[in-house]
């Protein structure tokens, strides 16, 4: 018999109860912007950087371009198309690039807990240290934004066996570490359940472009194809279409030009969809009666 995580049970999407998003909408779309910070000469090895190059100045400065340039170009694009976003923010940004969170604050965007930096993985920590990390990040967001974040995504999607338990105990309502569904589902913890928010592995620019070598045009076409297909599928079930972007990847001018085409395509059809942020999706799910959402 295969080992199991024990966090949720199998549930085919075709057999679930039906519900709708606000105003009877069937497809919820959100943009998650990864606003990440990296320590000098302390990054971890990953398939996203060339082998052995993760601590070289070329990789560090490529990522730093995101906070210095790419972020600001993307903000202009989101303003131009009136697109709300959620920022997955490393809290060291507050000290190292304070203008970045201030710009997000001015737009009223959602802040997500995303560790202190992306130079460390969360899942390798002892439970006491992981609890302290979550508290440090949460306290920093409360101090700067005046309220606690409702959602969390672990740096590098790195979880320990206790991560979901610790997040729920720290007051988090949803997480974005498990990419198993096109609908939110409730996952078991040692306390109250926590909501798994759909998050993309495929339509994630870091994976699609940097790791899998998609061209900007291919990535844009994939976003549009995914949108069109999910819009049709959502006639049968309410769905969530997430798009994950990184400032140092799609913030590059030649990629930004193609991304504009995809986001404009979606924004021009905003009357057909719920263009929102994941925190609002979570609150809507929490308002539904028990038995509607898997795991409830």
pTM, whole model, 2 decimals? 0.92
Asked whether the predicted pLDDT for residue 49 surpasses 70, the reply is no
Question: Whose CA is closest to 78, among 280, 256, 269, 282?
Answer: 256
Per-residue pLDDT tens digits for 208-266: 887 788 899 999 999 999 999 999 999 999 999 999 999 989 999 999 999 999 999 99
Element (H, E) at 224: helix 216-233
- pLDDT for 156 equals 77
Q: Distance between CA 283 and CA 100 in Å, rounded?
A: 26
Q: Distance between CA 132 and CA 291 in Å, rounded?
A: 34
Q: Distance between CA 231 and CA 225 in Å, rounded?
A: 10
Classify strands 86-89 and 274-276 as parallel, antiparallel or unpaired. Answer: unpaired
Q: Spell out the domain ranges in the chain.
A: 20-286
Asked whether the predicted pLDDT for residue 50 surpasses 80, the reply is no
Angle CA(260)–CA(274)–CA(236) in degrees, nearest 5? 115
Per-residue pLDDT tens digits for 9-40: 999 999 999 999 999 999 999 999 999 887 66
Calculate the CA 255 to chain-centre distance: 20
Q: Distance between CA 158 and CA 46 in Å, rounded?
A: 12
pLDDT band of 143, cuts 50, 70, 90: very high
Rg, the chain, Cα only:
19
Candidates 3.20.20.370, 3.30.750.24, 2.60.120.260, 3.40.190.10; CATH matching 20-286: 3.20.20.370
């Amino acid at each position: 018999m295969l080992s199991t995580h024990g966090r949720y049970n199998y549930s085919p999407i075709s057999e679930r109860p039906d519900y709708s998003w606000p105003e009877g909408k069937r497809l919820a779309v959100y943009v998650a912007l990864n606003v990440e910070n990296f320590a000098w000469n302390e990054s971890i090895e990953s398939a996203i950087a060339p082998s052995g190059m993760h601590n070289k100045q070329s990789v560090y400065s490529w990522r730093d371009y995101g906070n210095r340039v790419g972020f600001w170009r993307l903000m202009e694009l989101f303003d131009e198309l009136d697109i709300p976003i959620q920022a997955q923010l490393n809290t060291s940004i507050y000290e190292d690039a304070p203008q970045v969170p201030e710009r997000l604050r001015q737009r009223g965007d959602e802040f997500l807990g995303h560790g202190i930096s992306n130079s460390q993985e969360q899942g390798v920590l002892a439970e006491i240290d992981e609890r302290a990390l979550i508290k440090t990040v949460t306290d920093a967001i409360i101090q700067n934004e005046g309220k606690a974040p409702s959602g969390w995504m672990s740096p590098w999607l790195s979880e320990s066996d206790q991560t979901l338990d610790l997040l729920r105990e720290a007051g988090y309502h949803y997480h974005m570490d498990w990419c198993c569904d096109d609908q939110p589902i409730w996952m078991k913890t040692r306390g109250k359940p926590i909501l798994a928010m759909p998050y993309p592995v495929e339509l994630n620019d870091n994976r699609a472009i940097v790791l899998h070598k998609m061209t900007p045009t291919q990535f844009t076409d994939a976003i549009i194809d995914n949108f069109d297909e999910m819009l049709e599928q959502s006639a049968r079930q309410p769905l969530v279409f997430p798009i994950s972007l990184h400032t140092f990847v799609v913030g590059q001018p030649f990629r930004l030009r193609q991304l504009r085409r995809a986001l404009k395509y979606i924004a021009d059809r905003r009357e057909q969809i719920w263009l929102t942020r994941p925190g609002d999706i979570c609150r809507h799910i929490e308002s539904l009666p028990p038995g509607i959402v898997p795991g409830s």
